[in-house]
Structure 1
Amino acid sequence: MQRRSFINHAGLAGVLAAGAAPGIVHAQTQIRWRLASSFPKSLDTIFGAADVFAKKVNEMSGGKFQISVHAGGELMPAFGVVDGVQNGTVEIAHTAPYYFVGKDETFAIGCTIPFGLNSRQMSAWMFEGNGMKLMREFYAQYNIINFPGGNTGAQMGGWYRKPVKSLADMKGLKMRIGGFAGRVIERMGAVPQNLPGGEIYQALEKGTIDAAEWVGPYDDQKLGFHKVAPYYHFPGWWEGGPQLDFFINTKAYNALPAEYKAMVEAAAALAHNEMQARYDARNPMALKQLVGSKTQLVQFPKEVMDAAFKHSMTIYSELNDKNPNWKKVYTDYAKFRADQNMWFRFTEATFDRFMQSAKL
């Protein structure tokens, strides 16, 4: 009997009993995962990517594969999610990889490094270059497989109680700054502080810190930073295209049926795209509103930018000499960055400069 005829006569129950449709059988598998985010629920755009991901997995599986999403601090500290996934305390986390440079500086390349790739270039490196391959080889040391889970696009340079008018103003500045950039501003004389998003406002209000960076106008306005620090600097030279990731416990991922793995990949891709679309759509109005409420926009002086660039490149060179993980990934990343900047110079950058000066 031909297979098509067999299916037509046996019906679905017969097919399942005969084992002729393993994919359908797998789709009935009930799976429950917990996702630990590094972000507070109040940040609906960056935290929201995890909700988008979980909802889409639930929809595609017909409710059979459910993922509960937990804000930073609910299941574990915001900066404890890598340990949580590595140890199998939770199956999945949504976070910014550069939070974990204390474990290995290479984590930062999977998110963003000062004067690195912009968001489009980062996606190109991850999906069409060697980025995904190299980062997954690195994350395997931590029992983790990653899927890109969003990008904020280029960020602002943070909120300051007093404006930075020269390089001298960086001396002694206590600044909340995430990931790798803290090492750079430290060489500029500043004092970096690594605080979760939910703790920044209080520290800035109390004067525990003098400045803080987070993301951009939409999130920053929600967190109220403009109420306690009126000077909004730009650009965020340390975050030209920061990528968020879904970190999944390798054992948990490998245990998934093939169709559930496909759902994870598809849902992560949706969340990855949707996060930046939301930021790009919402940041302009938020910036207008912030300026309307007396926020003062301040561009970093060239000497500050030049010093930051110089120190960043020096640090990367030093890491090439002492961290084999870093050297392996950064060598490829740096070559890709050089080619991308050459290309963007003649296309995106030139077009953008014209459009930003045109009277529309």
Structure 2
Amino acid sequence: MKRRDFFQAAAGAGLASTVIAAPAIAQSAPDVHWRLTSSYPKSLDTIYGAAETLSRYVAEATDNKFKIQVFAAGEIVGALQVLDAVQNGTVQCGHTVGQFYWGKDPAFALATGGPFCLNSRMHSAWLYYGGGNELLDKLFAQSNITAFPCGNTGAQMGGWFRKEIKTVQDLNGLKIRIAGLTGSMLQKLGVVPQQIAAGEIYPALERGTIDASEWVGPYDDEKLGLVKVAPYYYYPGFWEASAQQHLFINRDQFNSLPPAYKGVLKAAAQAVNCDMQAKYDAVNPAALKRLAGAGAQLRPFSVEILDACFGAAQEVYSELSAKNPTFKTIYDSMARYRAEAYLWFQLAEYNYDSYMMRQQRAGKL
């Protein structure tokens, strides 16, 4: 065979193999269109925007074959009905936090975090490398859900109060917008917890229907305008040193995806898990300065209040563990990791950060 004829034959064979392979490729990358319902309004571009980032990552990775349309709270279902909507197939997936559904099973709250539990870095380590994801998967499976960590706010602020809170007695009778485990903890100190969606917080504070509200931190709180109706801004949010968001996916829908799409979805969620906190860390400092300029009066919770709340939290964890084996299994795993993690963090992170904070206060940075 002449050289030219050989290459022509080889090219023809290659073309033929390409034509044959094309249908197989097309079959492995079908067009998939999903709907995602968020627990958050569009105005909160960081926490709501995380779902949009997820959608973009998935579309880009699949050449727009796998598209996820994002809907804000209230457009399909309410902010606190995301789990039900995903479970029953109203939507294929949702972006939310487990603590909103702790009434179904208190163990759901541990997916988000809990009073005096892990900070966000520890939470991620526990989820990915400490068995947390595996334990939570067994819980989510009971509701026909597959879930991936999908964003974290980092440590939150302690919220906005209409009046100063100086002693434990000042908490008695206060109506505070707060959810889940923290509500149970604060009830032991006389607080009346209220579970209210983000869009309803401002009018409730303005009317005096509630006396205080926690939300997230400076950037999001500024958007909600809470400084106008409750000037005392407390810290730290000891109930949410980590506020772990999750992508809830209908388990049947997830299992029906091609393996490549499953991998893309999992990878996109993990990317968003990093991206959300990075954005919060970038935007919160300037927002805090703006809030202070707008009249926010920063106040630390007293050690007396922190100690009382810590004790109340341990009571709640003991009570729930005694009657809920699933809760006990997850909490015990988290608590074991917490003890080890703080042994490490106090040596390196704490000492380094403490030194650098002293330099910042001295105006040397």
Q: Same fold (TM over 0.5)?
A: yes
User: Which residue in 1 is equivalent to 2:205?
Assistant: 204
**Identity percentage over the alignment?**
48
Q: Matches of residues 206-225 of structure 1 in structure 2 within 5 Å?
A: 206-225=207-226
Indicate the SS of the match to 1:75.
coil
User: Which residue in 2 is equivalent to 1:16?
Assistant: 22
Deviation at 1:328, TM superposition (A): 1.3
Indicate the SS of the match to 1:355.
helix
Q: Is the 8 A contact 1:23 1:259 kept in 2?
A: no
Q: Matches of residues 141-180 of structure 1 in structure 2 within 5 Å?
A: 141-180=142-181
Indicate the SS of the match to 1:110.
helix
Q: Matches of residues 324-335 of structure 1 in structure 2 within 5 Å?
A: 324-335=325-336
Q: Is the 8 A contact 1:39 1:72 kept in 2?
A: yes
Indicate the SS of the match to 2:346.
helix
User: Which residue in 2 is equivalent to 1:25?
Assistant: 27
Deviation at 1:62, TM superposition (A): 1.1
- The residue identity in structure 1 corresponding to 2:341 is Q
Equivalent-residue separation in structure 1 for 2:25 and 2:292 (angstroms): 55
Deviation at 1:269, TM superposition (A): 1.3
Equivalent-residue separation in structure 2 for 1:110 and 1:16 (angstroms): 43
Indicate the SS of the match to 1:222.
helix
Indicate the SS of the match to 2:148.
strand
Indicate the SS of the match to 2:254.
helix
Q: Unaligned 5+ residue runs, structure 1?
A: none
Deviation track 1:245-276 (CA, whole Å, cap 9, x = no partner) reads 00000000000001111110111112111100
Equivalent-residue separation in structure 1 for 2:76 and 2:26 (angstroms): 34
Between Structure 1 and Structure 2, whose CA radius of gyration is higher? 2
Equivalent-residue separation in structure 2 for 1:193 and 1:297 (angstroms): 23
Q: Is the 8 A contact 1:178 1:194 kept in 2?
A: yes
Alpha carbon RMSD of aligned pairs, Å?
Answer: 1.4
User: Which residue in 1 is equivalent to 2:256?
Assistant: 255
Deviation at 1:151, TM superposition (A): 0.3
Equivalent-residue separation in structure 1 for 2:144 and 2:268 (angstroms): 21
User: Which residue in 1 is equivalent to 2:7?
Assistant: none
Deviation at 1:331, TM superposition (A): 1.2
- The residue identity in structure 2 corresponding to 1:111 is T
Q: Is the 8 A contact 1:177 1:212 kept in 2?
A: yes
> Which stretch of structure 1 is more off in the superposition, 133-142 or 178-187?
178-187
User: Which residue in 2 is equivalent to 1:48?
Assistant: 49
Deviation at 1:23, TM superposition (A): 5.0
- The residue identity in structure 1 corresponding to 2:142 is Q
Q: Is the 8 A contact 1:40 1:197 kept in 2?
A: yes
Deviation track 1:287-331 (CA, whole Å, cap 9, x = no partner) reads 011111221000001111001000101111111110011011111
Equivalent-residue separation in structure 2 for 1:231 and 1:71 (angstroms): 29
Q: Unaligned 5+ residue runs, structure 2?
A: 1-9
Q: Matches of residues 289-300 of structure 1 in structure 2 within 5 Å?
A: 289-300=290-301
- The residue identity in structure 2 corresponding to 1:174 is K
Indicate the SS of the match to 2:112.
coil
Deviation track 1:20-43 (CA, whole Å, cap 9, x = no partner) reads xx455312x011111010000000
User: Which residue in 1 is equivalent to 2:4?
Assistant: none
Q: Is the 8 A contact 1:156 1:233 kept in 2?
A: yes
User: Which residue in 1 is equivalent to 2:5?
Assistant: none
Q: Matches of residues 1-360 of structure 1 in structure 2 within 5 Å?
A: 8-17=14-23, 22-23=24-25, 25-27=27-29, 29-358=30-359, 359=362, 360=365
Deviation at 1:12, TM superposition (A): 2.4
Q: Is the 8 A contact 1:7 1:15 kept in 2?
A: no
Deviation at 1:6, TM superposition (A): 9.6
Equivalent-residue separation in structure 2 for 1:70 and 1:243 (angstroms): 20
Equivalent-residue separation in structure 2 for 1:88 and 1:184 (angstroms): 34
- The residue identity in structure 1 corresponding to 2:289 is K
| Structure 1 runs of 4+ with >6 Å offset | 4-7
Indicate the SS of the match to 1:332.
helix
Equivalent-residue separation in structure 1 for 2:210 and 2:112 (angstroms): 25
Deviation track 1:214-262 (CA, whole Å, cap 9, x = no partner) reads 0000000011000011100000000001100000000000000011111
- The residue identity in structure 2 corresponding to 1:349 is Y
Indicate the SS of the match to 2:142.
helix
Deviation at 1:178, TM superposition (A): 2.2
Q: Is the 8 A contact 1:181 1:238 kept in 2?
A: yes
> Which stretch of structure 1 is more off in the superposition, 347-356 or 217-226?
347-356
TM-score of the pair, normalised by structure 1: 0.95
Equivalent-residue separation in structure 1 for 2:355 and 2:179 (angstroms): 33
Deviation at 1:179, TM superposition (A): 2.3
Indicate the SS of the match to 2:203.
helix
Aligned length: 352
Deviation at 1:16, TM superposition (A): 2.8
